[in-house]
């Protein structure tokens, strides 16, 4: 059983959602910062997310459509082209349009194989590293850092933001994307799982990959603790027709946040 919130340290935790086939994989919601904390003692599995290479030249592919949406959002908030690092850059689907727009881009990937695929296909620079362990040997600083669908997988959210801060110039921007616990779909999912109505699809040994789940409030708390301020918050889905609605009522299942590193 979890004794304190991994983000704020509060012991004000409520058993919030019971996951898995036997409903014995527990998420606790923090009454102070609102983070959903998965109890890591129940076991985490990050091996279910391996992806195949999709060249950015295949612009009709769904994967690239998602990347192009991220870039379309990001570019409207950027000034003159500068330097950009995409952590967990996948197949380079965001680096590609950013470079086309004049940005000096670099990716970071865990896998040597993925990095090689990108280098060969696109002649892009890719650092092979776990970013929480990356020590930035040349002291590089970027104008923009991107981290999409990674934050929720990391137990130490503050370390992740501190690492991003170390890679940014003062006033630099970071784009983060992650699921939104304040969404309609999360509310329904929680309701169903707590009643055992959506759990039979899981294998006995299935374990989640998400350990820290955010909404705007808990994310803001994280920013305050790590020297950032929120510039833009938007929720989105993969259905373009629905996104006009979600611009007005921010209850979509995924969130996109542009944050600014405060000068020290």
The one among 8, 94, 115, 211 contacting Zn ion by CB under 5 A: 8
We find the least distance from the C-beta atom of residue 84 to Zn ion, in angstroms, to be 31
We find the least distance from the C-beta atom of residue 155 to Zn ion, in angstroms, to be 13
**Judged by CB under 5 A, does residue 13 bind Zn ion?**
no
**Judged by CB under 5 A, does residue 7 bind Zn ion?**
yes
We find the least distance from the C-beta atom of residue 254 to Zn ion, in angstroms, to be 22
In the range 92-121, which residues lie near Zn ion by CB under 5 A? none
* From 7-15, 59-67, 72-80, 170-178, span contacting Zn ion (CB under 5 A): 7-15
**Judged by CB under 5 A, does residue 225 bind Zn ion?**
no
We find the least distance from the C-beta atom of residue 53 to Zn ion, in angstroms, to be 38
**Judged by CB under 5 A, does residue 144 bind Zn ion?**
no
The one among 2, 5, 154, 222 contacting Zn ion by CB under 5 A: 5
In the range 26-55, which residues lie near Zn ion by CB under 5 A? 30, 32-33, 35
We find the least distance from the C-beta atom of residue 38 to Zn ion, in angstroms, to be 13
DSSP letter string over the chain? ---S-TTT----EEEEEEETTTT-EEEEEETTT--EEE-GGG----GGG------TT-TTSHHHHHHHHHHHHHHTT--S--EEEEET-TTTTTHHHHHHTT-EEEEEES-HHHHHHHHHHH---EEES-TTT---TT---EEEEEEES-GGG-S-HHHHHHHHHHHEEEEEEEEEEEE-TTSHHHHHHHHHHHTTSS-TTS-TT---S--EE--HHHHHHHHHHHTEEEEEEEEE-S-HHHHHHHHHS---SEEEEEEEEPP-
Q: Please give the residue ranges that form the binding site for Zn ion (CB under 5 A).
A: 5, 7-8, 10, 30, 32-33, 35
């Amino acid at each position: 059983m979890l004794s304190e919130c991994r983000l704020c340290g509060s012991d004000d935790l409520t058993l919030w959602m019971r996951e898995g086939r036997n409903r014995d994989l527990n998420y606790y919601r923090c009454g102070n910062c609102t983070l959903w904390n998965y109890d890591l003692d129940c076991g985490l599995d990050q091996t279910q997310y391996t992806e195949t290479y999709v060249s950015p030249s295949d612009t009709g592919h769904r994967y690239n459509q998602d990347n192009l949406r991220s870039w379309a959002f990001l570019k409207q908030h950027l000034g003159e082209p500068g330097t950009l690092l995409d952590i967990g850059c996948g197949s380079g689907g965001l680096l590609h349009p950013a470079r086309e727009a004049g940005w000096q881009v670099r990716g970071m990937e865990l896998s040597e194989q993925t990095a090689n695929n990108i280098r060969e296909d696109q002649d892009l620079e890719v650092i092979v590293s776990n970013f929480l362990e990356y020590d930035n040997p040349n002291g590089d600083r970027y104008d923009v850092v991107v981290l999409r669908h990674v934050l929720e997988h990391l137990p130490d959210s503050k370390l992740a933001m501190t690492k991003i801060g170390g890679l940014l110039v003062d006033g630099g921007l970071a784009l983060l994307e992650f699921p939104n616990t304040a969404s309609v779909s999360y509310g329904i999912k929680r309701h169903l799982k707590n009643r055992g109505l959506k759990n039979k699809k899981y294998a006995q040994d299935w374990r989640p990959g998400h350990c820290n789940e955010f909404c705007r409030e808990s994310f803001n708390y994280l920013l305050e603790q790590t020297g950032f301020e929120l510039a833009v918050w938007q929720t989105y889905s993969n259905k373009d027709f629905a996104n006009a609605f979600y611009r007005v009522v921010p209850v979509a299942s995924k969130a996109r946040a542009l944050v600014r590193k405060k000068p020290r």
